[in-house]
Structure 1
Amino acid sequence: MTQQSESTTSTTTREPDEPALPSPLAPPSPPLAEPRPLAERRVWPRTFHDRLTAPLPGLKAMARFAREGAVRPDPAGLADIPRLPYAPAPLPRVDARTIAVTWAGHASWVLRIGGLTVLTDPVWSRRILGTPARITPVGVPWEELPRVDAVVISHNHYDHLDAPTLRRLPRDTPVFVPAGLARWFHRRRFTRVTELDWWEAVELDGVRFDFVPSHHWSKRSLTDTCHSLWGGWVLTDESGQRVYFAGDTGYGHWFSRIGRRYPGIDLALLPIGAYDPRWWLRDVHCDPEEAVRAAQDLGARRMAPMHWATFVLSAEPVMEPLTRVRAAWEKAGLPRENLWDMPVGASKVL
C-alpha cells in the first residue's frame, strides 16, 4: 500500500504525511482548521485518484474474482437471516447536552447531538441498485423522525447515497458532503450543500462537523471513478463531546491520525461487514477484528458496529460479523459495556 498526500487543492489544511507513530513518540497534530462558510461554492480537481490508499483492482484481479470470487453467502450462511438483531423502539428523549444514537440499519444513524438531529448516509429504501432487498427492515420509520437538521454523506456508493431517501427531505436541509459531490445535490435542487476536503470543517448551531480521511474510493457510474472524495465525519458539540462516523473504510494509518487530531472520541461508529473474500475487499472494508483495532487507534471510549445485518453485499455468513466483533473486543480486554452492538432500530444515550 502507498500512502497518499492529504491535499490536492490550495484551500485544504495540510498535514505532513509522516508514518503513524505510537504515543508519546507521535508528533503533535496541526491545529484544527477554521470552519469554512456554509454552502460555499468551490472548484475541485476532476479526480481524486491520488487519495487512494491502494490501487483499485486491475484486470488480473477482476479475472480472478470472476473465476473464484463469491458475492453472496452459501445457503448455510444465509440461514441465520431470521435471527438478525432487530428491535425497533421509540427514539429517546434528549436535550442539547445529551448525545443519542439510533441505528436505522447499514450506515444510517439518527444522531442527536447539541440539540440537532443528524442523519448519516440515510438509506431508507428497501432495495438499492445491484443488491438484493434489505434482510432487515429499516429500524426507524421515516414518519417517526424528528425534524432533520442536517445530513452527512461519506461517499457516493449507492448503499450510502440513496436518491429516493434524500428526495423525502426538504430541499433547504443542510447537507455536508465530500469534495466534488455538491453538484449531485444541486441537480436535485438542494440549496444548502457544503462540500469539504479532508481535515476541513463547518459549524451548524454550535456543532462542529469535521470531514476526515478514510481508506475507500468513490464511483456511481461507468465514467466517474474517484471524481468525488470519500471519508468520515467527526461531530463535536459545544461541551467537547465527540462522535466519529467512519462511513465506509478499510483499515489503515488514517485511524491513528484521526485519533491524534481529535482526542477524546466518546463513540466511534465503525463498519464491520462486507469483508469476504478478504483478498478482494481488504483495502476498502474493515473486518470485525480490524474495526476493533481501529477503535483502539482512534482512542475511542466506545464503539458501535454498523455496515452489517442490512444488505447482503459479500460472502461472509450474515451473523459472522457480530460473532467476530464480540470475540475481538473481548480478546482486546476492553470493557464489555463499551461495545454498543445494537440491534437495528435500537438506541443508546451518552
Structure 2
Amino acid sequence: MTRKSRNAYYQGPPSDHFDGELFFNPGRPWNKGVADLIRWNFKRDGKESWPDTFPAPARDVPPRRVEGAGLRVTLIGHASFLIQTAGRNMLVDPVWSERASPFSFAGPKRVNPPGVAFDDLPRIDVVLVTHNHYDHLDVATLRRLAAAHRPRIVTPLGNDTIMREAGVGAEFEALDWGDVARLGDGLRVHAEPAQHWSARGLFDRRHALWAAFVIDGPGGAIYHVGDTGFHAPQFSEIRRKHGPPRLAILPIGAYEPRWFMREQHIDPDEAVRGFKLTGAARAVGHHWGTFKLTDEGIERPREALEAALRAHDVPAHRFVALRPGEVWTDEG
C-alpha cells in the first residue's frame, strides 16, 4: 500500500529537490533545529535595539504604466516591490499589513509605512510570491489585492494552496524550479533555485517550495531574490542561463547572528559577491529597515553594504540600498 504523504500543500513526484513529502536544498542540508532557535532567542549578546519609527524620505505615486524597455522599480518596504516594465505592473511579495506575523497583535511591527499607499497603486497585473514566510506571503494584503485588482499570482509549488485556503480569490500559476510563466508580449517569469526553506507554523516546515525569480523583458533580465543563503553556483548559473541581468534585486538584511542565519540569509558582503557572480549591471538591496527580524541594528545593512562595495572594488552607484518609497529607473 502506498503511504499517503503528510505534505499539507503539495502532492507530486519526487525530484532532485523534493523527496515526495518535503522540499530541500540539494547538497545543502538544513542543520538548524528547535534547540538552535531557543538558543538564539535566549542569547542576548549582540542584539541591537531598533527605534520605534524609522520614516522613509519619500512616498511614491507610480505612473499607470511603463511601456517597452523602460523599467521602474519602487521599494514598498522590506521585500515588497512594484516592478513596472513592458506595460505590465508586477508586485513582488506584497505586504501592506502592520505586522509580519500570523497575529495582528504580536510579532515584528513595521517602523515605516509602505512606500506606496495601497490606494495609489496602478492596476496590478501580476503578483509574484517567492515563499510562504509571513514577511513575504501576507494573506491579508493578497485578499485585498485580489478583490481590488484581480491579478494573476505566480508562486512556487504549494504556496497556491496556502493562498486559496486563506480565501485569496485569484488565478494562480504554481511553478517548480526551472518552470516558466508567460505573461504575454514577450514577458516571462522563470522560477530559479534559492537556498532557503518554508513554514507557516510548527508542522508544515518545507511543505511548500521557495524560489527566486528571473523576469525576462524587452530591456533584459531582472533577477529577484526574496531570501537565500549564499551558494556561489546559484548566482553564476543565473548568468549562464539568462545572461548578465539588467538588474539584480538582492536581500542585504536579517543576517545576524551568522551562526544561525548563514544557511538562509545572505549578508551584505555575500550579496555583493553574488551580484558580481551574476554579472548584473546594477543592483538594489532590500530586506532591511522595515521589520526587525534578527539581531543587527536598523542601519547596519546599509553600512555593511557600503563597506562591502569598497572591499570588492564596486562603485557605490552600481548597488544601492533602497528605502521605502524610493525608485530605481532605467530608460532602457
Assess same fold via TM > 0.5: yes
- Which of these residues, 174, 185, 208, is aligned with residue 152 of structure 2? 174
The equivalent residue for 2:221 is 242
| Amino acid of the structure 1 residue aligned with 2:30 | P
Task: Give the superposed CA RMSD.
Answer: 2.6
CA distance in 2 between counterparts of 1:94 and 1:235 reads 15
Bigger drift between 178-187 and 55-64 goes to 55-64
- Which of these residues, 295, 298, 307, is aligned with residue 278 of structure 2? 298
| Amino acid of the structure 2 residue aligned with 1:190 | G
> What SS does the aligned partner of 1:168 have?
helix
CA distance in 1 between counterparts of 2:285 and 2:23 reads 28
Bigger drift between 228-237 and 122-131 goes to 122-131
- Which of these residues, 54, 57, 62, is aligned with residue 91 of structure 1? 62
Q: 1:178-217 to 2 correspondence within 5 Å? A: 178-187=156-165, 188-206=167-185, 207-217=187-197
Taking a change above 3 Å as real, the CA distance of residues 69 and 258 of structure 1, as seen in their structure-2 partners, is: farther
Say if 2:312 is the partner of 1:332. Answer: yes
The equivalent residue for 1:57 is 32
Taking a change above 3 Å as real, the CA distance of residues 56 and 156 of structure 1, as seen in their structure-2 partners, is: farther
| Runs of 5+ consecutive residues of structure 1 not aligned to the other structure | 1-7, 18-42
Taking a change above 3 Å as real, the CA distance of residues 116 and 277 of structure 1, as seen in their structure-2 partners, is: same
The equivalent residue for 2:288 is 308
Say if 2:297 is the partner of 1:317. Answer: yes
| Mapped contact 1:154–1:230 kept (Cα < 8 A) | yes
| Mapped contact 1:173–1:190 kept (Cα < 8 A) | no
| Amino acid of the structure 1 residue aligned with 2:36 | A
Say if 2:123 is the partner of 1:144. Answer: no
- Which of these residues, 83, 89, 100, is aligned with residue 72 of structure 2? 100
| Amino acid of the structure 2 residue aligned with 1:181 | N
Please report how far the alpha carbon of residue 337 of structure 1 lies from its aligned counterpart in structure 2 after TM superposition.
2.1
CA distance in 1 between counterparts of 2:205 and 2:283 reads 31
Bigger drift between 117-126 and 186-195 goes to 186-195
| Mapped contact 1:131–1:313 kept (Cα < 8 A) | no
Please report how far the alpha carbon of residue 225 of structure 1 lies from its aligned counterpart in structure 2 after TM superposition.
0.5
| Amino acid of the structure 1 residue aligned with 2:72 | A
CA distance in 2 between counterparts of 1:274 and 1:70 reads 16
CA distance in 2 between counterparts of 1:48 and 1:337 reads 37
Taking a change above 3 Å as real, the CA distance of residues 59 and 174 of structure 1, as seen in their structure-2 partners, is: closer
The equivalent residue for 2:3 is none
| Amino acid of the structure 2 residue aligned with 1:117 | N
Please report how far the alpha carbon of residue 240 of structure 1 lies from its aligned counterpart in structure 2 after TM superposition.
4.8
**Residues 189-211 of structure 1: per-residue CA shift (max 9 Å, x gap):** 53410111111111012210000
**Residues 61-115 of structure 1: per-residue CA shift (max 9 Å, x gap):** 24532542569524xxx25x66664322322563232111000000100000211
CA distance in 2 between counterparts of 1:279 and 1:87 reads 35
| Mapped contact 2:14–2:20 kept (Cα < 8 A) | no
Q: Percent identity, please.
A: 34
**Residues 244-291 of structure 1: per-residue CA shift (max 9 Å, x gap):** 110111111311222221112011110011111111111101111111
- Which of these residues, 164, 177, 186, is aligned with residue 140 of structure 2? 164
CA distance in 2 between counterparts of 1:192 and 1:11 reads 26
Please report how far the alpha carbon of residue 139 of structure 1 lies from its aligned counterpart in structure 2 after TM superposition.
0.5
CA distance in 1 between counterparts of 2:175 and 2:195 reads 17
| Mapped contact 1:271–1:307 kept (Cα < 8 A) | yes
The equivalent residue for 1:30 is none
The equivalent residue for 1:287 is 267
TM-score by length of 2: 0.86
| Amino acid of the structure 1 residue aligned with 2:326 | A
| Amino acid of the structure 1 residue aligned with 2:141 | T
Say if 2:243 is the partner of 1:271. Answer: no
Taking a change above 3 Å as real, the CA distance of residues 66 and 146 of structure 1, as seen in their structure-2 partners, is: closer
**Residues 106-142 of structure 1: per-residue CA shift (max 9 Å, x gap):** 0100000211000000001111215232111110000
| Amino acid of the structure 1 residue aligned with 2:62 | L
Taking a change above 3 Å as real, the CA distance of residues 128 and 67 of structure 1, as seen in their structure-2 partners, is: closer
> What SS does the aligned partner of 2:131 have?
coil
Bigger drift between 97-106 and 330-339 goes to 330-339
| Mapped contact 1:126–1:134 kept (Cα < 8 A) | yes
| Mapped contact 2:256–2:296 kept (Cα < 8 A) | yes
TM-score by length of 1: 0.81
In the comparison of the two structures, how many residue pairs are matched? 310
